[in-house]
Amino acid sequence: MAKKYSSLIEIKGGLQSGEVTVEKLVKHYLENIKANAHLNAFNEVFGEEALSRAKNIDARIQSGNAGRLAGMVIGIKDNICYKDHKVSASSKILDGFTSIYSSTIVERLLAEDAIIIGRCNCDEFAMGASNESSYFGPVKNYADNTKVSGGSSGGSAVAVQADMCHAAIGTDTGGSVRQPASFCGLIGLKPTYGRISRYGVISYASSFDQVGPITKSVEDAALLLEIMAGVDEYDSTLSTKEVPSFSADLKEPGKKKIAYLQESLSSPGVDAEVKNALTQAIDKLRAEGHTVKPIAFEYLDYLVPAYYILATAEASSNLARYDGVHYGYRSPKATDLQSTYKLSRSEGFGKEVKRRIMLGTFVLSAGYYDAYYAKAQKARRLIREKTQDILKEYDFILTPTAPEPAYNIGKEETDPVVSYLADIFTVQASLSGLPAISLPVGNNSKGLPLGLQLLAGQFEEQELLNFSKYFVKL
């Protein structure tokens, strides 16, 4: 079966006409996984299980009682718990750990007959933007194997890019669904904070973490969002707002007011072809009758510092639980409680994770709390308020998703701040708790995918998806 389906709607057509079966689909993806093993997108493939589930779902389709995701084969990022399956956050410290329960999102996806084909590689504890901090090694971009996949949900993105599954689920703390989607020519949606349950998702920075879909079509993103979203007694940060039927309600967006950050075009840090893609999009939107205006964001320089202070502070506390006693790896050299903690953590965590635990502990320490953590909290409030002000006047804020397309694997950065700065466009939505989506806008002259980001008001995913569906066809 050579056909590459671009949406679940298309797959459902194929299932109905008898062109394909769920079992054939799974076999096709498993073949692709095998053929693309060098991309390193999966930490583990649940092959046998996926095949036997496929047979059951085919039978349910025959008898007319299949769920809304029948025919949808997905990969999940390896920081999402799935009962009786291993989960590692791509870290040595979770070596051998098996989930004893499923995350809420996994339960909801399975209840609608999705098939989970495997757990996808990612940056260690979702800390990174290139998938190079994984204990299992980097993920290669399918468009060019010498380039990174993006991160931290790099395996999830490449799995979809190389047709190793139809869609994937990632997590986005500061851009980890959107940025790899943009590096792989896909759609990546980070919903409003409080939209999707985080129960059973390994925590990185709890006030930022959100689950999001990586897909080839806006329709699939809408459907996956509506199935995963909504109140959950295990996550008290969830909104009690009713979840719209995002996929059924997709409609023409009408004329919109769009702001774009003028620095996206003027900053020397943004790649020329990325700027060009943004300029072209602006021109097309204007030609279509939308209002598109440049804006200055006065807190632009504070976005990355505020994000990295707060995210690392939260991470240092969340990662305290990996102590060599409760989960996964324990150093064989440990002799007592102190050495169990010290050695297990020293040997179990990678370099980037340790750097962040130390930075987070520092900004929370008694002498520096006010200067860093408290200040960053204040900056976050200002960033959120200012962003919301802009969205009172405009429907969306348009930016590149990332300043550059996928770069070379192994590009050693001596100063980590240089890598952190590449998150400049994605962390604004994360700091503000707002929904944002990365949409593909073709390839650059070297054949590497480019993406643009749209940021919308709180809980305005429907408007965002309506406009996205229209935008990708422009």
The angle at the Cα of 203, spanning 416 to 173, to the nearest 5 degrees, equals: 50
- Contact, 167 vs 213, CB < 8 A? yes
Shortest distance in whole angstroms from residue 293 CB to ligand GLN: 29
Q: Is 339 a catalytic residue?
A: no
Between 71 and 154, name the residue whose CB sits nearer to ligand GLN. 154
> Restricting to residues 18-37, which ones interact with ligand GLN according to CB under 6 A?
none
Judged by CB under 6 A, does residue 434 bind ligand GLN?
no
Q: Is 92 a catalytic residue?
A: no
Q: Of 103, 130, 152, 316, which is the active-site residue?
A: 152
Shortest distance in whole angstroms from residue 246 CB to ligand GLN: 22
Report CA torsion sign: 472, 474, 248, 453: positive
Residue partners of 324: CB distance under 8 A and separation at least 6? 330, 331, 334, 340, 341, 343, 344, 345, 348
Shortest distance in whole angstroms from residue 176 CB to ligand GLN: 3
Judged by CB under 6 A, does residue 149 bind ligand GLN?
no
Closest Cα to residue 364, out of 377, 373, 356? 373
Judged by CB under 6 A, does residue 131 bind ligand GLN?
no
Residue 308 Cα distances to 79, 263, 357, 383, angstroms = 20, 21, 11, 14
Query: Interface mask (CB under 6 A) for ligand GLN, residues 190-219, using x and -?
Result: --------------x---------------
Among 39, 54, 127, 441, binds ligand GLN (CB under 6 A): 127
Three-class secondary structure of residue 453 per DSSP: strand
Judged by CB under 6 A, does residue 174 bind ligand GLN?
yes
Q: Of 90, 103, 176, 430, which is the active-site residue?
A: 176
> How many angstroms separate the CA atoms of 191 and 289, rounded?
27
Question: Cβ-closest residue to ligand GLN?
Answer: 176
Judged by CB under 6 A, does residue 124 bind ligand GLN?
no
The piece of 33-41, 69-77, 170-178, 337-345 that touches ligand GLN (CB under 6 A) is 170-178
In the DSSP assignment, the letter for residue 245 is -
> Restricting to residues 280-339, which ones interact with ligand GLN according to CB under 6 A?
311
Judged by CB under 6 A, does residue 126 bind ligand GLN?
yes
> How many angstroms separate the CA atoms of 93 and 347, rounded?
8
Residue type, 102: S
Residue type, 98: T
Residue 459 Cα distances to 225, 245, 247, 400, 462, angstroms = 12, 13, 15, 22, 8
The piece of 60-68, 174-182, 224-232, 377-385 that touches ligand GLN (CB under 6 A) is 174-182
Q: Is 216 a catalytic residue?
A: no
> How many angstroms separate the CA atoms of 45 and 282, rounded?
42
In the DSSP assignment, the letter for residue 14 is H
Tally: H helices and E strands in the chain: 16, 13
Shortest distance in whole angstroms from residue 182 CB to ligand GLN: 13
Closest Cα to residue 33, out of 43, 20, 23? 43
Judged by CB under 6 A, does residue 172 bind ligand GLN?
yes
Alpha carbon 455 to its chain's center? 15
Among 71, 118, 138, 175, binds ligand GLN (CB under 6 A): 175
Between 179 and 215, name the residue whose CB sits nearer to ligand GLN. 179
User: What secondary structure does DSSP assign to 167-213, as a single string?
Assistant: EEEEEESSSTTHHHHHHTT-EEEEPPTTSB--TTB--SSTTT-EEEE
Strands 187-190 and 210-215: what pairing? antiparallel
Judged by CB under 6 A, does residue 129 bind ligand GLN?
yes
Q: How many residues bind ligand GLN (CB under 6 A)?
A: 13
Report CA torsion sign: 441, 442, 446, 449: positive
The piece of 14-22, 171-179, 180-188, 390-398 that touches ligand GLN (CB under 6 A) is 171-179
The piece of 2-10, 113-121, 126-134, 369-377 that touches ligand GLN (CB under 6 A) is 126-134
Judged by CB under 6 A, does residue 187 bind ligand GLN?
no
Shortest distance in whole angstroms from residue 16 CB to ligand GLN: 38
Shortest distance in whole angstroms from residue 410 CB to ligand GLN: 18
Query: Interface mask (CB under 6 A) for ligand GLN, residues 79-118, using x and -?
Result: ----------------------------------------
> Restricting to residues 391-430, which ones interact with ligand GLN according to CB under 6 A?
423
Judged by CB under 6 A, does residue 220 bind ligand GLN?
no
Closest Cα to residue 92, out of 147, 133, 60? 133
Structure tokens at 37: 């093993």
Judged by CB under 6 A, does residue 128 bind ligand GLN?
yes
The binding site for ligand GLN (CB under 6 A) comprises: 126-129, 152, 172-176, 204, 311, 423
* Catalytic residue IDs: 77, 152, 176
